A and B are shown apart, each in its own frame.
Chain A
Amino acid sequence: MSQTSVSVPRCPPLLAVPLRAVPLAPLSASLTAFSRRIATSHPGLYRRLGDYANTPFVIDPTDLPLVILLHPGNGKPTITLTRRPVEGAARIAGPLAALLGLVHGGFDGDALFFSRDLVIEGDTSASLALRNAIDDAELDLSEELLNLTGPLAAPVHRALLLLERRTGLYLTRPEEAAW
């Protein structure tokens, strides 16, 4: 038998600390609009969620001073950011890097769970359905964002790649996964 551990970076305080003061309502509205665009461009994601397409999920980036409540809404999602404890059918908690790595296919969910970088509570089935649906969707959040930035796409892309290199956060889909 042999053992090793996964190394997941922590979100730098420079990114995390300002979130303590940022007003969350406009940010929630923007993220809701963003997630609805993704829902439209990736209908398969909701098909895969199946019975859980209307299940509220609490996503808890443990190195950020906020929690994300995701209501998939049968393909019309709503995202609410909050600094107070919230209830959901399932809670998925871990460093922002782990959560973004899962979305972009950079990390394996089970490996993060075995190493306890990821904690799952509540309805395990719902969490698995969400993880599997997202893994199949081959999302690239940067690409989705760049679609909104028009003529600024090129500089924004460069800035995102720089941020990715500096922080170790998966902000794009890794090369090997994008095919």
Chain B
Amino acid sequence: MVMEIVCPAGTPAALRAAVKAGAHTIYCGFADETNARNFPGLNFDRVEMRDSVAFAHQHGSKVLVAINTFPRAGDEAIWHRAVADAESCGADAVILADAGLLDYAARHHPNLRRHLSVQAAAANADMVNFYAETFGVKRVVLPRVLSVPEIAAINAETEVETEVFVFGGLCVMAEGRCSLSSYATGRSPNMNGVCSPASHVEYHDHNGVLDAQLGGYTIHRAQKGDAAPYPTLCKGCFSAGEKTDHLFEDPVSLNAEQLIPQLQKAGVTALKIEGRQRSRSYVTQVVRNFREAVDALEDGRPMPQGMLARLSEGQAMTTGAYKKTWR
């Protein structure tokens, strides 16, 4: 069976672009703190969600709604409402991270398919099976810390579908467990849906030398002519002991395009593209590229060579943990 391309959409226009470019499935979220891409000018209100789901269905694509932040104590109703609204908008599934919210969805919306978000960081078969048995989760988005053999080992021990990231911004921690952004800005992906939020970002250009700051800290300095980075904390340049370097991760994006055949052999069902904060131009180019790749694989043709480097952070790409040798 052809591998499923799961594509991001930050706006209804990006969703339409994804459908047109051949995405089998699109994931998106409501314009509030219930989704982990709560950026200015992005996401869907309820009417836009209903219309967009209808549009996708008309053209044979599915829509997944990410409600993947962790409900704040006392404010759980906001997250409960999001689940109910996703169902009434016709979503094909919700992507959830919080065990309490999964439990709520399983009890109150049993017919709404549940996927486990990468934010839940389910990184072994026991955990995957626990979510499936306890909350009826049908698919798990695996964290970006696993190698291909580790993914194969998980799939060998579970019936649950697995989805893995193949392209886009790289979060290098076991997701949902990173406090770097909270430390520097008071806002985190887990609670507010933003890592290294734009509201705390400032760029200063000194005669071509670009300082990228987050919360007043200079995270990166790009020399004249070098690619500009977004000051995501884990991809900053830090001094520790004698060393000044990108201590956690280089400012690079994930591109596992050439690993698709191996991922298929490892039993992966769906390939996920990161980038709900990106434009419809990005969505079109990346989806076309990956659709072509999975179609080629299905037909036994050679994999096309990618043209996606210029879309990447730092204009540089890595296969991430799939082939990782840690520092």
Contact = CB atoms under 8 A, between A and B. Distances in A.
Contacts of A115: 227-228, 310, 315
B315 A5 contact: yes
Contact of B205 (A102, A114, A121, A128): A121
A131 B282 CA distance: 13
Among A6, A50, A114, chain B packs the most CB atoms within 10 A around the CB of: A114
Contacts of B230: 110, 113
Contacts, number: 136
A108 B227 contact: no
Interface stretch (A15-23, A132-140, A145-153): A132-140
Interface in B225-250: 225-230, 250
Nearest to A133: B41
Interface stretch (B60-68, B117-125, B196-204, B292-300): B196-204
B13 A109 contact: no
A6 B315 CA distance: 10
**Interface residues of B: mostly helix, strand, loop or mixed?**
mixed
Main secondary structure of the interface of A (DSSP, over half): helix
Contacts of A132: 10-11, 39-42, 277
B14 A114 contact: no
Interface residues of A, number: 44
Interface residues of B, number: 50
Contacts of A30: none
A134 B309 CA distance: 24
Contacts of B132: none
A159 to B, nearest CB: 25
Given A105-B280, A124-B198, A1 B14 contact: no
Interface in A28-53: 48-52
Contacts of A113: 228, 230
A136 B277 CA distance: 12
Between A108, A128, A129, A138, the greatest number of chain B beta carbons within 10 A of the residue's beta carbon is seen for A108
B316 interface: yes
Given A1-B316, A116-B210, A124-B198, A110 B279 contact: yes
Q: Which residue, B41, B202, B225, B316, has most C-beta atoms of chain A within 10 A?
A: B41
Contacts of B5: none
B318 interface: yes
Contacts of A136: 11-14, 41
A40 to B, nearest CB: 19
Contacts of A2: 309, 316-317
Closest 6 CB pairs of A and B: A132-B41, A136-B11, A129-B41, A129-B40, A108-B282, A124-B201
Interface of B: 10-14, 16-17, 20-21, 39-42, 197-199, 201-205, 210, 222, 225-230, 250, 252, 277-282, 284-285, 307, 309-318
